[in-house]
Amino acid sequence: MTFTRYAIYFAPPAGAEWARFATNWLGWDMETGEDVAHPLVDGVDVAAVTQVPRKYGLHATMKPPFRLRDGQSVEALTEACARLAQTQPPVTLDGLEIARLGRFLALCPVGNKAALNTLAAACVRDLDSFRAPAPEAELERRRAGGLSPEQDANLVQWGYPYVMEAFRFHITLSGKLDKPTLATVQAALQSQLVPLLPKPFQITDLALMGEAEDGRFHLIHRYTLSG
């Protein structure tokens, strides 16, 4: 399969019960590359609620999607990902919780995030030689949303505003919702997903992802953190 962009994700373990529920919730299994049936939830149109994040799959972004720089190869990228994983230790946090990030819902980590932020920064920094510079039109589109000076500096240096000190680990569960829908969906997830969430929450590998021509992301390979 040919990919237009690549990314580094935290991809939840496919065998975990919480990950199976949340994958079905989104409706796209990036590990198998298949659509999956949404759970039936009273009072919630799950397909509509998850339409925007579906193509990305169940994940937290560690290095945002990027086009491969001229002169670089996928083979070299995979080797660099393996080397990176060998230098980084697994990360353990207290758990996960449902959070409102503006008008969308996500799973966010509970506990000391220093090691997690260090891991994300390493992904952004150590693989940046593979990233083609963002086109000017893309930079302007991101600036149109309003960026702080720090975020704009990140955009220029790393191709994305919300990295390094501006990074916030999150596993997106919905698109933007109006307030009544937000409350209804949050209550449903609180009831059905939260009891399944792991305590502690561990990150033991990184996932190299590829974006297909249709915009959907597929798992290419997992790299065990062994630093």
Residue 146 resides in a domain: no
Residue 34 banded pLDDT, cuts 50, 70, 90: very high
Domain that holds residue 59: 5-135+169-224
How many domains are there within the chain?
A: 1
Domain assignment of residue 102, yes or no: yes
Q: How far apart are CA 150 and CA 166, in angstroms?
A: 8
Percent of the chain with pLDDT over 70: 100
d(Cα 175, Cα 127) in Å, to the nearest integer? 29
Q: In CATH, what number is assigned to the domain containing residue 53?
A: 3.90.1140.10
Span 106-139, pLDDT tens digits: 999 999 999 999 999 999 999 999 999 988 898 9
Residue 154 lies inside a defined structural domain of this protein: no
CA distance 44 to 32: 26
